Structure 1
Amino acid sequence: MQRVCFLLKVRKDRLEEYRLRHEKVWAEMQEALTAAGWHNYSLFLREDGLLVGYLETEDYDRARELMDTAEVNTRWQEYMADCFEREEGDVPHGAAHPLAEVFHLA
């Protein structure tokens, strides 16, 4: 099982909206994540907008590939796009490059 951690940046003026939207994550989005192999998925948000994501999966590249082709994910990314700081042309999950794991206590 791969453990994956990534960082993104939520706009400071959109922090509350980001939280509110995640109180009501669409059921079909949750189903797509599960079907793609995303397990134990969590998001942590700091007050300055730093977002830390964590998930476990058998194959992260495959799990992302499956989400990239899921129509509901396209709609979700469009819905969430205004919440993120990003470079021109970036999509939020596309900018989520995994961090290197340097220690794990089992």
Structure 2
Amino acid sequence: MQRLAFKMKLNPGQKEAYTKRHNELWPELKKLLKDVGVSEYSIFFDDETSTLFAFQKVSGAGGSQDLSSNEIVKKWWDFMADIMEVNPDNSPVSKPLEEVFYMP
């Protein structure tokens, strides 16, 4: 099992919309994530910087960040593009984070 963390940036004033959309996560996207080995996925929000911090436990070779060719994921990116910083293909601008401490 590997633990992955990354950060993304929400556009100002979009916390409520982001939370609502994730509370209504599409069943097909949730199934896809589970199928590729994502067993836990948490996203935290920093009000001061509008930064999202994501954490995943993954049993497969990679997490959600490795699904860029999947049509469900592309559709989700398009759905989220108006409320967060995105790349030209509408994927979230994200930066992997290095784990520097872990206490099991």
TM-score, normalised relative to structure 1: 0.83
Structure 1 partner of 2:43: 43
Greater share of residues in helix:
1
- Alignment CA distance shift 1:50-1:28 (3 Å): same
Rounded to whole Å, the distance in 2 between the matches of 1:89 and 1:39 is: 29
Identical residues among aligned pairs (%): 30
1:71 CA displacement:
1.4
Structure 1 partner of 2:88: 89
Question: Any unmatched runs of 5+ in structure 2?
Answer: none
Rounded to whole Å, the distance in 1 between the matches of 2:65 and 2:10 is: 21
2:54 pairs with 1:53: yes
Cα distance per residue 1:29-67 (max 9 Å; x no partner): 100111111121111112231101000113227x643x2
**Given that residues 32 and 70 in structure 1 are in contact (C-alpha distance below 8 angstroms), is that contact kept between their aligned partners in structure 2?**
no
Structure 1 partner of 2:20: 20
Question: Any unmatched runs of 5+ in structure 1?
Answer: none
* Aligned length, in residue pairs: 101
Q: Name the aligned partner's letter for residue 28 of structure 1.
A: E
Greater share of residues in strand:
2
Rounded to whole Å, the distance in 1 between the matches of 2:94 and 2:8 is: 6
Rounded to whole Å, the distance in 1 between the matches of 2:98 and 2:69 is: 26
Alignment of 1:69-88 (within 5 A): 69-86=69-86
TM-score, normalised relative to structure 2: 0.84
